[in-house]
Amino acid sequence: MKIASWRPVRIQKIIFAGLLGLAFQGQAATLQLQINGSNTIGARLAPLLVEGMLKEAGAQNIQLQLNSETRESLITAISATAESIEISLNAHGSTTGFTALIEQSGQIAAASRPIKDSEVDALKSRGDMRGMDAEHVIGLDGLALIIHPDNPINALDTEQIAQIFSGRITNWNQLGAVQGSIRLYARDSNSGTWETFRDLVLTPKRLELHTEAHRFESNADLSQAVSSDINAIGFVGLANVDQAKALAVSSGDSRAMLPSKAQVATEDYPLSRRLYLYISPEETNPLAQALIAFTQSQAGQEIVEQVGFVGQNIKSIQIAPQAEMPAPYQQLAEQAQRLSVNFRFKEGSSQLDNKAWQDIDRVRDYLQAQNKTENKVVLVGFGDPRHGGAELISKLRAMKVRRALGNHDITVKDSFGIGDDLPVAANTHDDGRVKNRRVEIWVY
């Protein structure tokens, strides 16, 4: 029987429960797993997720041997049935994770950016790497633009940021601050953090990073360097702002937003991004399967939060009404609360993306726990102005989410579309338009 595509989280929970009882039985050899890829994920998040998975599986004598210099770590344990477990983590950048999958030297790729077309093509013999069995969003992050705490600048738009990092703007006095030559700090070329920044900021403007930018393999090292240099500017993951000062960022007609957890959770913040684990759909390694399942659990998402990233467990958010809001949306802000998730769609498609299908399950669980499954939910669809009929298309998107929730016995009170109002990103590039094509969920 074909399982409906809107049930991935519950299916993963069942798989994980089965693995706890079966994966660590009857295996004489050491159980091994290798994870390669993003330093953003591999530095702290992946080791703690592995540790959490092992604890939930009843493993004993869990040892984390973390090496911040080599970015290579080893986690060992003894399973509940006395088998040895070895899990290695090599955190040298997102690209290296996909290279290891292609070369079959690792089972999981950790990535702080989506898989590229070329990587999908290289792995096509092993299944659809953009399918729900392969692509797993494990949390959210925001790229924070950081400067020295004493720098008076508080906000920049993505156009200014692109001009700065390409070397077009070279002095702080061009931005209204005191004179000082701007020094650029950027992540290394293997980093998913760098690739996300490049794709969100530089590529839409057809610009390249200035050749004199200082490059860092670690978010933590970059943040420390910026906080010690009055003329510096750099970008790091949300969890690594540390002693530096984060700037509010705007894109196109969107308002300037600080990289807060609430803005990142809904992916409204212009430089928000998803954190992924990729696995071949044909992968049978029980540790790999158990880890993927654990990351989608309530406990796994709590670890994401503890590390400083943004988890996907649903929360309610109070939104202050604003004069520029359309009337029905302003009424929602006055009377209801928004949930910490946006449903988004596959690029060039009216189909919900993989994260959206997982979030359907999370929303169902939240609404059931809050006793709000009957006529308490309002869905608001948004579009972009590239094609005509943005209001109609945004309404159709809201209806698609309404049907998906209906399959979970959630009766929606109302759904409507407000077209291309209230953009969260610029509509001048595909990445921005994709972010603007979204459905919000509000609860009375």
pLDDT in tens, 92-125: 999 999 999 999 999 999 999 999 999 999 999 9
CA-CA distance, 122 to 286, in Å (whole number)?
Answer: 24
Percentage, residues of the chain above pLDDT 90 = 71
Element holding 63 (H helix, E strand) = strand 60-65
224 and 371 share a domain?
no
CA-CA distance, 327 to 333, in Å (whole number)?
Answer: 10
434 and 319 share a domain?
yes
| Structural domain that includes position 415 | 314-443
Give 251: exposed, middle or buried? Use CB within 10 Å, 0-12, 13-18, 19+. buried
Which whole number is the average pLDDT over 244-248?
Answer: 97
pTM, whole model, 2 decimals?
0.82
126 and 30 share a domain?
yes
Phi, psi of 177 (to 5 degrees): -100, 180
CA-CA distance, 444 to 56, in Å (whole number)?
Answer: 36
Q: Which of 230, 262, 294 is the last residue of a domain?
A: 262
What pLDDT shows up at residue 225? 98
233 and 283 share a domain?
no
**pLDDT tens digits for 415-440?**
998 877 776 655 455 554 566 789 99
On whether residue 268 sits in a domain, the answer given is no
On whether residue 3 sits in a domain, the answer given is no
What pLDDT shows up at residue 349? 66
CA-CA distance, 427 to 382, in Å (whole number)?
Answer: 12
118 and 173 share a domain?
no
Token readout for 383 is 């579009």
What pLDDT shows up at residue 424? 64
43 and 146 share a domain?
no
Give 179: exposed, middle or buried? Use CB within 10 Å, 0-12, 13-18, 19+. exposed
CA-CA distance, 403 to 127, in Å (whole number)?
Answer: 29
In total, the chain counts a number of residues equal to 444
Per the CB < 8 A criterion, the answer to whether 343 and 359 are in contact is yes
**pLDDT tens digits for 256-281?**
999 989 999 999 899 998 999 999 99
The CB-side HSE value for 322 (13 A sphere, CA atoms) comes to 7
| CATH assignment of the domain containing 174 | 3.40.190.10
Number of compact structural domains in the chain? 3
**Which residue blocks in 184-310 are alpha helix, DSSP H?**
192-197, 219-226, 261-265, 286-295, 298-307
C-alpha separations of 80 from 54, 111, 119, 288 in Å: 9, 30, 37, 17
The CB-side HSE value for 230 (13 A sphere, CA atoms) comes to 7
181 and 87 share a domain?
no
364 and 398 share a domain?
yes
Per the CB < 8 A criterion, the answer to whether 402 and 366 are in contact is no
257 and 279 share a domain?
no
31 and 112 share a domain?
yes
**pLDDT tens digits for 160-192?**
999 999 999 999 999 999 999 999 999 998 888
78 and 109 share a domain?
yes
What pLDDT shows up at residue 12? 46
38 and 83 share a domain?
yes
